[in-house]
Structure 1
Amino acid sequence: MIYRTTSGRTSSGEAIGILLLDTIVPFIPGDVANATTYDFPVRFSRVAGFSLDRAICQDPTIYPLLRDAAAELVRQGVRAITADCGYMALHQRRLATELGVPVFLSSLLQIPFILAIIGAQRSLGILAANGAALDHQLLAAVGVDDPSRLVIEGLEQQPAFHHFALAESGEIDVDAVRQEVVAAGIRVVKRNRDVGAILLECSLMPPYGAALQEALQMPVFDYISMINYVFSAVVKKSYHGFI
């Protein structure tokens, strides 16, 4: 077997490249930005200047920096590009068109798939870092033109979540945030009894997905479910067994 490389590559074996916001947040296990979350190597790249505020406000002027960081990840050998903020969906179509590898910047890209598999009579609950920011423009960017089956609950007013995720205090009370995420999910289901699944928009929420599922007894989708799915497509495994 012959292997080849290109000039400038510093390592190999990282199929998924992850673009990170320029934030001050503890990345606990289960977080998109924690390498121990994955069963495979990943490569991270922080986009300098891409703050959470610029993501939530859907600032289009950040795109050149985002594109350059993504292009460098591709140059380093990744096979697909994701990110750590659902609000990066604004840049999804342009980056996917220009980059030449699969791009899946936002966990919200799973919405059409989830709606298709839970049945036309069911709704999808979405827990978001900022519920008001999930507007029609952002949803349209991930292929959702009709939001009537979406039940959105933002956590921007929850004190523990706001303290670590939005105010960027640099510390997190994991138990308190878990309680807030689970309580938000319960509110969604109580408000709409036809909810058939939950999607976590925020890359900081997957650590609480198991507790949420235990409380609600329904499928919970998040960034990690999406990343694992795409990894299985760009790095196929060989099967061995017998019949």
Structure 2
Amino acid sequence: MTSRPHASLGILTSDQGQLPNSERGTEPGAIENHATLGFPVITEIAEGTLGRRTPAGDPVLERGYVEAAQRLVQRGAVAISSNCGFLIRYQAVVAASVEVPVAMSSMLLLPTLVRQVPPSAKIAVLTYDSNAFDEDMIELNDPAERSRVVVGGIEGSKYWHDELKIPAPPTDVSAMEADVGACITRLRAAHPEIAAVLFECAGFPVVAPAIRRLTNLPVYDITSLCRMMIASIK
């Protein structure tokens, strides 16, 4: 596939609670920020998902995500992603609905990351809400590989509460950095074998540089996956 005029990365969002002209998504590192990937970004809201902050894969919502993805392609999207890692639960249905690459969640990276590090090492998955993070988020069939994945969440934090508000306020990056930093610090204390970090939450990339400095570990997120998609089609 060759690049074409007005080619963009399409981002599916279930966040209908944003105010017009909101500053959300403009932070350095945010997936919606054009400067993050050095590639144009366009967004579409999936109708009927208001208030579904952590989608559980309800088939009722599939139509909204599929139609939004198709609108993105009509607008010039040459690849599709999303602003919520939990939307991996819609990966298959969205990928089947369009003729462009689809990566709905950074969790698609997990099988690769597990195989990139020594068998004695572990991967830390940092999530917006570990209570909503079920086994269906982890596509590892080998029990030995699954045992090398540890999960930590920031539920109850300021960012967690802010994301439940309608409309959600601008991201408090300092608070997020403190909460995500505390989470990975706890996980590393319990699991010193951690060799890499994967952010489930598509909001966390804004603090990725800080977490790399804190841990001196590789940190992967949805922007890592989107960069790969864009590089393959530019």
Q: What TM-score bracket applies, with the shorter chain setting the length?
A: 0.7 to 0.9
- Residue 110 of structure 2 is aligned to residue 111 of structure 1: yes
What is the CA-CA distance between 1:45 and the residue it aligns to? Answer: 1.2
Please give the per-residue CA displacement for 1:123-155, whole angstroms capped at 9, x wherever unaligned: 11011011122212232xxx3234321110011
Deviates more, 1:31-40 or 1:221-230: 31-40
Query: Are 1:19 and 1:82, in contact at CA under 8 Å, matched by a contact in 2?
Result: yes
Moved segments of 4+, more than 4 Å: none
Distance 1:82 1:173, change over 3 A: closer
SS in 2 for 1:132: coil
TM-score by length of 1: 0.84
- Residue 164 of structure 2 is aligned to residue 166 of structure 1: yes
- Residue 224 of structure 2 is aligned to residue 225 of structure 1: yes
Please give the per-residue CA displacement for 1:57-91, whole angstroms capped at 9, x wherever unaligned: 33221111110111111122322111111111111
- Residue 143 of structure 2 is aligned to residue 144 of structure 1: no
- Provide the residue aligned with 1:8 in structure 2: none
Amino acid in structure 2 at the alignment position of 1:68:
E
Show the 5 A alignment for 1:12-91: 12-24=5-17, 26-27=24-25, 28-51=27-50, 53=52, 55-91=54-90
What is the RMSD computed on CA atoms of the aligned residues?
1.9
Deviates more, 1:50-59 or 1:71-80: 50-59
Q: What stretches of structure 1 of length at least 5 have no aligned partner?
A: 6-11, 236-243
TM-score by length of 2: 0.87
SS in 2 for 1:202: coil
Query: Are 1:20 and 1:33, in contact at CA under 8 Å, matched by a contact in 2?
Result: no
Query: Are 2:32 and 2:41, in contact at CA under 8 Å, matched by a contact in 1?
Result: no
Q: What stretches of structure 2 of length at least 5 have no aligned partner?
A: 19-23
Larger Rg: 1
- Residue 213 of structure 2 is aligned to residue 205 of structure 1: no
Sequence identity of aligned pairs in percent? 27
Number of corresponding residues: 221
Q: Which has the higher contact order (CA 8 A, sep 6+)?
A: 2
SS in 2 for 1:13: coil
Please give the per-residue CA displacement for 1:83-119, whole angstroms capped at 9, x wherever unaligned: 1111111111222123222111011001011111112
Higher helix proportion, which one? 1
- Provide the residue aligned with 2:21 in structure 1: none
Amino acid in structure 2 at the alignment position of 1:19:
L
